[in-house]
Amino acid sequence: MCGTCGCTKPLLRAAAVPVARIALNVDFEERRERLEHAVIDKNERLAAQNRDAFRAGSLLAINFMSSPGSGKTTLLERTIERLVRAGAPQVFVIQGDQATDNDATRVRRAGAKAVQINTGQGCHLDASMIERATQELAPTPGSLLAIENVGNLVCPAMFDLGESYRVAVISVTEGDDKPLKYPHMFRSSDLVLINKLDLLEHCEFDLETCCANIAAMNPRAEILVLSARRGDGMQAWIDWLNGKIARVTSPQPTESTP
């Protein structure tokens, strides 16, 4: 996995390691932590630049994050199809996966322009990847820029991409305690989509419990329940998106001079 976000940090077993080796390991860990802080600091600077560029270009940038199998790509396909039918602004997609361009192919078929980023062993997208992909996509003003992050509920939450909003997607097949198990993901999200409502009767998943767990982690997060495949709740999600698109494309008020 990724060596820059700390997910591969080794555990020190002090009782089984000689003192000299412990000292070396501690020094190594201190240098690693300094490097990790430098990487994250650089990412934060690039993310701020991305955010400024998105605002200047009147782009709504959404960072979609979830575990694998939550239905992110199906959600994007159905979202794109609905926006295209309604004559909404164009949709541009940055797809993040460790390998293949399968998902980029799917969203292109749905009507979006897409760029695939393969991270290899990396477990998340970062701001520099988004900067390069956005330059390649060249989205038009007033567009939706959808960023489908690598399927992972840990590391993507740590890396700001410059997005306008963060959307966490979970499904009823995953368990209603996911927000408690992965608190940072849900604390950092603006909206949580609970997907695969069509499978609810087949799963041991309590919607009320899940919503309460999300609220416990992040009282400010909005929650929408839907089935991307069957269509339940999709209009509320489209309305949410259209409201955000209108906000980023509307003229910003200027301060009047006295």
pLDDT given at position 88 = 82
- What is the residue-averaged pLDDT of the chain? 89
- What is the mean predicted confidence (pLDDT) over 90-96? 97
pLDDT, tens digit (0-9, with 9 covering 90-100), for 122-147: 999 999 999 999 999 999 999 999 99
- What is the mean predicted confidence (pLDDT) over 97-123? 96
Paired tokens of 25: 């390991």
Question: SS3 of 94, please?
Answer: strand
pLDDT, tens digit (0-9, with 9 covering 90-100), for 179-217: 999 999 999 999 999 999 999 999 999 999 999 999 999
**Partner residues linked to 146 by β-bridges:** 62, 93
pLDDT given at position 241 = 96
Question: What's the CATH number for 53-245?
Answer: 3.40.50.300
With a cut of 80, say whether residue 85 has pLDDT above it: yes
Q: pTM for this structure?
A: 0.86
**Exposed (0-12), middle (13-18) or buried (19+): which is 185, by Cβ within 10 Å?**
buried
Local confidence band at 256 (pLDDT 50, 70, 90 cut-offs) = very low
pLDDT given at position 249 = 82
Distance CA(132)–CA(102), nearest Å, equals 20
